[in-house]
Each structure stands twice: as C-alpha cells, then as structure tokens.
Amino acid sequence: MSTTTTTPRPTRDGGGGPVSRVLRHPLTWMLVGVVGVGLVAGPTASAEPFLLLPVLGAALAVVVYRVVMRFVARRRTPEIAARRAVPEALLGAAVGLGFVAVSAAVVTALGGYTFRVADVDLLAVVAPILAVTVGAAVTEELTFRGFALQAFERLLGSWTALAVTALFFGLTHLFNPGATAWSALAIAIEAGGLLGAAFLWRRNLWFVIGLHFAWNATVALLGIPVSGHAAPGLLVADVSGPSVLTGGAFGIEGSLVTVALGALIAAPMLVLARRRGTLLPARGRRP
C-alpha cells in the first residue's frame, strides 16, 4: 500500500465575474451537490419494487457528484477516480467488516448478544440488504465526506470540518427509530468521526464508501438494527443487558463498545493523515 500523496490544495477562483465567484464558493457547490444527491437518493432508497433501484441511485449520485464538481466547483475529482476504485473499496470494506465483527464479539462476550441462525431464504435476505446498503453508503458519503467535509475544510480547515460534519451526521440520525440523544452522539463520534478520519487519511471516497457499506451490511446480516432500522438478517440477535452495552432498539451503533472502538480506529487514521500532509489548516493559517 502506497503511503505517498500530494497535499490537498484549496481551490482558487482564478478570475471570472461575480457569478463565477459565487458558484465556485465552497458553500455554493456544497449546497448544490447535497440537493442534487438528495433528489437522486430519495426516490431510490428502497429496493422495492425494483431490487437494483438503490444501486441505480448510487450510480446517478456519482454522476451528480462529478457534474457538480466539474461545472460548478470547477475542480478535478481524484477522490472518486475509477482507477483506484476497486482496491480502495475492498480495503475500506475490510476495515468496516473488522470494526463491526470485533464490536459484536465484544458485546457478545460481555453477555449483551446471543445469536442463532434465522430460518430465512438466503437470497431473499441478502440481495435487498446489499442493494440498500450500497445505495446508502454511496449517497451518504458523497453528501457528507464528498461535498460537506471538503467544502468546510476549504473554509475552516480539516479539523473543524471533521467536527462539524461528524456532529451533523449524528444529528441526522436523531430522527431514526429508537434514537436518543446518546445514540446521536454515538453516531457522531463512531461514524461521523471514523468515516471523516478515513477520508482525510486516504483522500479517497471509494475507501470510505467501502467501509460504510461493509459496516451497514454486516450489522444487518447479523440481525441487528442498523441505526434503528430493523430487518430480517441471516442471524437473529437476542439482546440482553443494559442499552449502554447493546445499543438497545437503536442497535450496536448505540453501544459504548462500538463508540470506543470507532474512536480507537479513527485516532491512528488522523495521525497518519497528519504525517502524510493530507490535512488542510484553517484558511487564515495557510501560506
């Protein structure tokens, strides 16, 4: 795995009239991009009645991202280049799978979960889970790490952008089934923080998409609610013990175990990002 990279540079206006300057402002292309991805994601979030509908939505969201960055922001998009898509996505998926597997193992060892095999049709369970999680991973990462984090870091620097987008990511999950103030904070730390750190380290959206996809898919296949959304999995998870351990109705993402492990994984990613020079300082501190 290569560890060489080029320090990201803030996009400069490069001239043009007032309309051009407004369009190229980070808040402008962020808002245009978020709305564009949202318009694509809404109608394609469910796998019914067409199983591949979320996958189609994900593909359209990538197109929206490229178009907005190319024609509104007027910047290149190496973070989503096709050349490194497969290896980066696979590496991210390995991290996501390991993260959930270790979290579930620790909660199980502490008496929070017991698992049994579900009596379900394999294809009928796996196919919708994979389709929906692909759609969610792509659209959420393009929105939060693609548009929002990159826009805010060009204005405020990487550290503030990470904090702002992590907090907002947690707040958007506050309206999910079984959500509480604690679960929203947990999502902000373990998901917003970890996924943001992963992007700042790799500077590659495919890596973060792979991580997010494997995370959600593994939780769902284990029969655990994904951010409060329960659906049949390949296993049935019987829950016992305090919600601070199990996450309660919100699922394992509301567990203190998962929060702690997510923070432990995010920390070295941020250290590596700093060593590689992939963090932007606040605008007033740039040379």
Q: Alpha helix (H) ranges present in the chain?
A: 18-23, 26-44, 53-71, 85-109, 122-141, 149-156, 158-172, 181-187, 194-202, 205-221, 243-246, 256-276
| Percent of the chain scoring above 90 in pLDDT | 89
Residue at token pair 């904070």: 185
Count of beta carbons in the 10 Å neighbourhood of residue 147: 27
- As a whole number of angstroms, the distance between CA 44 and CA 74 comes to 28
Lookup: tokens for 107 = 């909660």
pLDDT of residue 21: 87
Render pLDDT for 66-86 as a digit per residue (tens, 0 to 9): 999 999 999 999 999 999 999
Count of beta carbons in the 10 Å neighbourhood of residue 114: 12
pLDDT in tens, the chain (287 residues): 434 444 455 444 445 678 888 889 999 999 999 999 999 999 999 998 899 999 999 999 999 999 999 999 999 999 999 999 999 999 999 999 999 999 999 999 999 999 999 999 999 999 999 999 999 999 999 999 999 999 999 999 999 999 999 999 999 999 999 999 999 999 999 999 999 999 999 999 999 999 999 999 999 999 999 999 999 999 999 999 999 999 999 999 999 999 999 999 999 999 999 999 999 998 756 55
What is the pTM assigned to this prediction?
A: 0.92
DSSP 4-34: ------PPP--S--HHHHHHTSHHHHHHHHH
pLDDT of residue 44: 95
Phi, psi (deg, nearest 5) at residue 172? -65, -20
Return the biggest CA–CA distance within the chain. 64
